[in-house]
A and B are shown apart, each in its own frame.
Chain A
Amino acid sequence: DIVMTQTPPSLPVTLGQPASISCRSSQSLVHSNGNTYLSWLQQRPGQPPRLLIYKISNRFSGVPDRFSGSGAGTDFTLQISRVEAEDVGIYYCMQATQSPTFGQGTKLEIK
């Protein structure tokens, strides 16, 4: 299995400030077709996960443009340009290049 490692585990952020979460995979996530199937999920308190970003940098339907993704190979980043109160929750990276696996999560809280 591909192991996904997220940092930091906890991220206190001031409202209106940017936030960044890193995700590293134990092996390259480049599929044989050339695509990289790395997604980011948001899980608000008491809610199921919600897809934010797919294929590294594509925002899913309805996701605000303050969320962006970047990276390649084994290193990926989720960025929030200006954190809002509704962004509180746990963020997971997920790879689906091979049998899917998830990172351990990053808990975003308001400072």
Chain B
Amino acid sequence: QITLKESGPTLVKPTQTLTLTCTFSGFSLSTSGVGVAWIRQPPGKALEWLTVIYWNGDKRYSPSLRNRLTVTKGTFEDQVVLTLTNMDPVDTATYFCGHRRESYDFSGVEVWGQGTTVTVSS
């Protein structure tokens, strides 16, 4: 069974850097075609794709946030870390990580974490 869980601060101040960790189980980030994606959802708004890191270390970023986002594999094999610099109140959102899979027969996010809510306020 694939599960993912996001963790990190619930409140950050403007201009600070947000660091979130996705801890997952039930799959390996060394398996071909597998990735961990980050998506966010501002309160009452739609989903926004942020970034993904793949089994081979390849990374893709949202063009609008490329200069502020970094995604890395964590210290442990079952973790992925997201950093978002220069936080602003508009970055207030629930941040989800998800099991991304790409193959001939499938491309998308199969399983989502529960999400973690981050508020940006002084």
Total contacts A-B at CB 8 Å: 59
**With a CB–CB cut-off of 8 A, which chain A residues contact B96?**
48-49
5 A–B pairs (Cβ distance < 8 Å), ordered by A: A37-B107, A49-B112, A50-B112, A92-B46, A100-B37
Say yes or no: B49 contacts A101, CB within 8 Å: yes
| A7 on interface, CB distance cutoff 8 Å | no
Bound together, the chains give a CA A33 to CA B106 distance in angstroms of 12
| B104 on interface, CB distance cutoff 8 Å | yes
Q: Which of A1, A49, A99 contacts B60 (CB 8 A)?
A: A99
If over half of B's interface residues share one DSSP class (helix, strand or loop), that class is named, otherwise mixed; here it is: strand
Say yes or no: B110 contacts A104, CB within 8 Å: no
Which residues of A does B touch, CB under 8 Å?
1, 31, 33, 35, 37, 39, 41, 48-51, 54-55, 60, 92, 94, 96-97, 99-105
1/0 per residue, CB under 8 A from A, across B93-120: the answer is 0001000001011111111111100000
Distance to closest chain B CB from A108 (angstroms):
15
Say yes or no: A55 contacts B112, CB within 8 Å: no
Say yes or no: B46 contacts A103, CB within 8 Å: yes
Closest 10 CB pairs of A and B: A37-B107, A96-B107, A48-B112, A102-B47, A39-B108, A96-B108, A100-B49, A104-B46, A105-B46, A48-B115
| B43 on interface, CB distance cutoff 8 Å | no
How many residues of chain B get a CB closer than 8 Å to chain A's CBs?
Answer: 22
Report if A54-B47 is in contact (Cβ < 8 Å); known contacts: A48-B113, A99-B60. Answer: no
Which residues of B does A touch, CB under 8 Å?
37, 46-49, 60, 62-63, 96, 102, 104-115
**With a CB–CB cut-off of 8 A, which chain B residues contact A99?**
49, 60, 62
**With a CB–CB cut-off of 8 A, which chain B residues contact A92?**
46-47
